[in-house]
Structures are given as structure tokens and as C-alpha cells.
Homo-oligomer: A and B are copies of this chain.
Amino acid sequence: MKILISNDDGYLAPGINALAAALAPIADIVVVAPDSNRSGASNSLSLDRPLSVQQAANGFYFVNGTPTDCVHVALTGMLDYRPDLVVSGINNGPNMGDDTLYSGTVAAATEGYLFGIPAIAFSQGAFGWEHIDAAARHARDIIVQYMETLPAPYLLNVNIPNLPYEQLLPPVATRLGRRHQAEPVIRAQDPRGKEIFWIGPPGATKDAGEGTDFYACASGRTSITPLQIDLTHRTQLDVLAKALA
């Protein structure tokens, strides 16, 4: 099995190192990841400047671009083979509900899926990298046990509680929850007296009920949400079609 690994925290992050170490025994792995932290990058692609690919001492490739750039470049010319799986992460902190729209971790996996390759995004439920090796081992278990469960290609969004390996329970299938709107922007002044704005924290959860990814993680369970990328709103499409007819 050949696995392409990327992330949005950058190729130096503990999460991608743990994931690569956990997957190396079961697959031919290649890491192509951003040269620095690109959290919040979503599916952004660098169209107005060229990218460069370099190789670090540990064999990881790093790119001066976004997570999507990394997977895109790997799949459209850099690699001379087609991976069997694209995995992304393990992200520092959760990617659940609406957050998935902004997530570079999910975007890296999405890019693989757009090329017809099964893809899994892994995130830890809490920030700080605690128990990251356990999360990586658990991620490997999920790949080994469930990668044939769904018809290929699929796109899975996995959030793993920060717990010791022994306390990690079998995953549950979830839908994405929803958040309330984001907290206000944080106004401040830079040291030269100029007004600046920091993006504020995400909003509180609005739909975190049973069946959601928020609910699963809050219950100490690993959440797996199968994703799709057709944004068409089918119900509204019918309404609109009638109105425009």
C-alpha cells in the first residue's frame, strides 16, 4: 500500500511525525506538507506564484504552499505513482462541524478525494499534542480495520480524543454538527498605534446533539464523518427551478 501524507500544521509538526512513524510499518509512505503552519488555509490553491519542493533530512518533502498545493503537486506530477490512500494530519486540535470548511487538514484530504483517491483527515479533539502517539496508533488501526468498509473513493473526517491508547474506544459514525456564528473580532492596536483586528474564536456549538461529531468527541469517542463535496442544495434547487420556470 502506498500512502501520501500531508497536513496543515507544517512538516515539522508533532502530529505528522507521529502519523508517519505509525504508518511506515504498514505502507510505503511519502510526506509532502507545507513548510510552515497553514492552519485555516481551507482549500486555497496558490495560482499566482510558483511552488518549490524541498526534502528535509528525514526524507519529508516540504512545499512553500498550502495543504491543497502540497497534495495537488504530489498527485499531478511530483510522484511517479498513484497513492492508494491520502491521509492528512494529525491536526493540532479538532476539526468538527462548520470548522471543516476552514480546515487545511480536511482540505488536504479533500484534494486527494477530488483525484479519486480514498482520503482521511485526522485531528485530535483537543489542542496541545497530548497523547499524539496514541492518536497516531489509533489512526493506523482505523486505516487497517475500516479502509475497505466504504466504496472507494471516500473522504473521511476523523477526530480522536486526546487519551492514552488504552482508553481509546472504537469509533462511531457521525454527521457534522453546527456552530453558532463566530465570536466578535478582537480589536487591538499594534505598537505603532495602528488599529488591528484579530479573527476571534469560533462560536459555541448550535447542533451538538446525539449523532454529531461534537457529541461523539464530548463523550470520549473517536468520531468518523463521511464527507461529500457536492454543495448543491437539492431541496432549494427544486424550489428555485419552479420559480424560474
Report the minimum CB–CB distance from A5 to chain B (whole Å): 18
* Residue A166 lies at the interface, judged by CB distance under 8 Å to chain B: no
Interface string of A160-187 (1 = CB under 8 A from B): 0000000000111111100001111111
* Residue A108 lies at the interface, judged by CB distance under 8 Å to chain B: no
* Residue A76 lies at the interface, judged by CB distance under 8 Å to chain B: yes
Report the minimum CB–CB distance from A146 to chain B (whole Å): 7
Query: Contacts A44-B40, A44-B44, A185-B77: A224 and B197 contacting too (C-beta < 8 A)?
Result: no
* Residue A226 lies at the interface, judged by CB distance under 8 Å to chain B: yes
* Residue A201 lies at the interface, judged by CB distance under 8 Å to chain B: yes
Q: How far is the CA of A182 from the CA of B176 in the complex (A)?
A: 28
Which of A22-30, A50-58, A131-139 sits within the interface?
A: A50-58
Q: How far is the CA of A87 from the CA of B32 in the complex (A)?
A: 33
Q: Which residue of chain B is the closest to A243 with respect to CB atoms? A: B149
A196-234 contacts to B (CB < 8 Å): 196-201, 224-234
Interface size grouping (class) on chain A: 35 or more
Query: Contacts A114-B98, A237-B225: A64 and B76 contacting too (C-beta < 8 A)?
Result: no
B50 touches A49 (CB 8 A): yes
A231 touches B224 (CB 8 A): no
Q: How far is the CA of A191 from the CA of B72 in the complex (A)?
A: 16
Report the minimum CB–CB distance from A245 to chain B (whole Å): 8
Q: How far is the CA of A64 from the CA of B169 in the complex (A)?
A: 39
Query: Contacts A195-B52, A200-B191: A244 and B173 contacting too (C-beta < 8 A)?
Result: yes
Interface string of A110-123 (1 = CB under 8 A from B): 10001110000000
B199 touches A45 (CB 8 A): yes
* Residue A102 lies at the interface, judged by CB distance under 8 Å to chain B: yes
Question: Which residues of chain B are near A1, meaning CB under 8 Å?
Answer: none
14 extra interface residue pairs, beta carbon distance < 8 Å, beyond A43-B43, A186-B191: A42-B43, A42-B45, A50-B50, A52-B194, A53-B195, A68-B102, A75-B181, A76-B200, A101-B231, A149-B243, A150-B240, A172-B241, A175-B237, A176-B230
